[in-house]
Structure 1
Amino acid sequence: MTVTSIVPARTGLLIVDLQNDFLHPDGAYARGGQANADIAALPSRLAPLADALRKAGGWVISTQFSLVPGKGGEPFLSPHLKQMRPFLRKGDFAPGSWGHQLVDVLKPADLTVEKVAYSAFYMTRMEWVLRKAGVDTLMVCGIVTNGGVASTVRDAHVRDFVTCVVSDGCAAFSRETHERAIGDLATVATAMSCAEAEALVRSA
């Protein structure tokens, strides 16, 4: 299905994991040498779209990747994450912490949903809050394109949400991976740029 029009009050900009610990120079990923220019550029690129949707009566929804603290505050880490990101430590992505929060440029979010895996729908209240808010159309953006974004888009699609992916509002750790993921999502979502999504909001 190609999305050519929206009802702003029933539309959400779903921002996947644009959090301080991922993006900020003082965050966990920068400390671990994982800073990425394409990812860092996303908030300022998405801000006009978020502002336009807010003004039109739509919803800004932030997912917050979380490392749930166990005994002594030590985070539960899945084996693959521990292997991929050995620099993660106590306090990183902890619920309620500065690093866990949405970056300032995109605040405030109307809805915030914590998640522990790639998809924003896996073991979360995401679908419940979207239904309660009357949201049936999602514009998905954030990081990483082939991980959290792709998993969230596919899960939204199978739940019958009208789904768009904001192609230049997403990024991965390589541009090739990003482009491949956007292409793969074409069967379940309409791809559009930030400018095209903003124009769709303003024309509604």
Structure 2
Amino acid sequence: MSAATPTPAAPLDARRTALVIVDLQHDFIGDGGAYARGGAASDAARRLPARVAPVARALRERGGYVVASQFTLWPDAEGEPMISPHLKQLRPFLARGDFEAGSAGHAVVAELDGLVNVSVLKVAYSAFFNTQLDWLLRRVGIDTVAICGIVTNGGVASTARDAHMRDYRVLVLGDGCAASTGAAHDTALADLRTVGEVTTCDAFVARLSA
């Protein structure tokens, strides 16, 4: 008896689909950014913009919506960044001006210039937490979100789970994400299959309908 033929993946209505790009910012992955200065920039993460930009372009060309989340360190009354204790312990090199809204380091990487419909500023892992992302997506008629960016087991995972809890159809672009290690990345993707579909950048683009 022959093996069953795999069921083709269903097409995606681009006009009801959003690409959520998590934290591809200069301070995280750019030369001279905060993480590069602190020796914490990831080579795997630095390769993502070239992979994600064609996906954003394809979705925009078909009438879809592209959102970038930007991790933000807001200043206190003295101008010092308000860094959560766990992050300060993990990244002690973070300093005044890093991830400050409007700064060069806070900006989305140049490869995505002209490809993002809107950015949301976030203070924690999830792009939904204390942002207007859910309002924006519903306002433009989105029911499906494809998530990519950094890190797979942090901002990407939290955003995917929050999207699932809000009843969006969730896809995670596995090769459009990165973590600190390959093992952490693979484990996170395996876990995320409980809340959505894990696919690739090319496969996602191939399923988009105009």
Same fold, judged at TM 0.5 (above): yes
**Unaligned residue ranges in structure 2 (runs of 5+):** 1-7
Partner of 2:5: none
User: How does 1:108-127 map onto structure 2 within 5 Å?
Assistant: 108=114, 109-127=116-134
Residues 4-63 of structure 1, C-alpha deviations (whole Å, 9 max, x = no match):
221111111100000010010110000000121100000001111111001001111000
Partner of 1:69: 75
1:32 is aligned with what amino acid?
Answer: G
Bigger mean CA deviation after superposition, 84-93 or 95-104: 95-104
1:113 is paired with a residue of what secondary structure? strand
Structure 2: distance between partners of 1:171 and 1:4: 26
Structure with higher Rg: it is: 2
Q: Does the Cα contact within 8 Å between 2:22 and 2:155 map onto a contact in 1?
A: yes
Identity %: 52
1:64 is paired with a residue of what secondary structure? strand
Partner of 1:86: 92
2:88 is aligned with what amino acid?
Answer: K
Matched, 1:141 2:148: yes
- Runs of 4+ in structure 1 over 4 Å off: none
Structure 2: distance between partners of 1:118 and 1:3: 30
Partner of 2:205: 198
Partner of 1:42: 48
2:12 is paired with a residue of what secondary structure? coil
Partner of 2:27: 21
**Unaligned residue ranges in structure 1 (runs of 5+):** none
Cα root mean square deviation, aligned:
1.2
Matched, 1:7 2:16: no
Question: How does the TM-score come out when normalised to structure 1?
Answer: 0.96
More helix by share: 1
2:181 is aligned with what amino acid?
Answer: S
Residues 131-152 of structure 1, C-alpha deviations (whole Å, 9 max, x = no match):
1111111000000000000000
Structure 1: distance between partners of 2:18 and 2:47: 21
What is the aligned counterpart of 2:172 among 165, 168, 171? Answer: 165
1:93 is aligned with what amino acid?
Answer: F
1:45 is aligned with what amino acid?
Answer: R
Distance 1:3 1:62, change over 3 A: farther
2:101 is paired with a residue of what secondary structure? coil
Residues 154-200 of structure 1, C-alpha deviations (whole Å, 9 max, x = no match):
00001000110000000001010000000000011111111101111
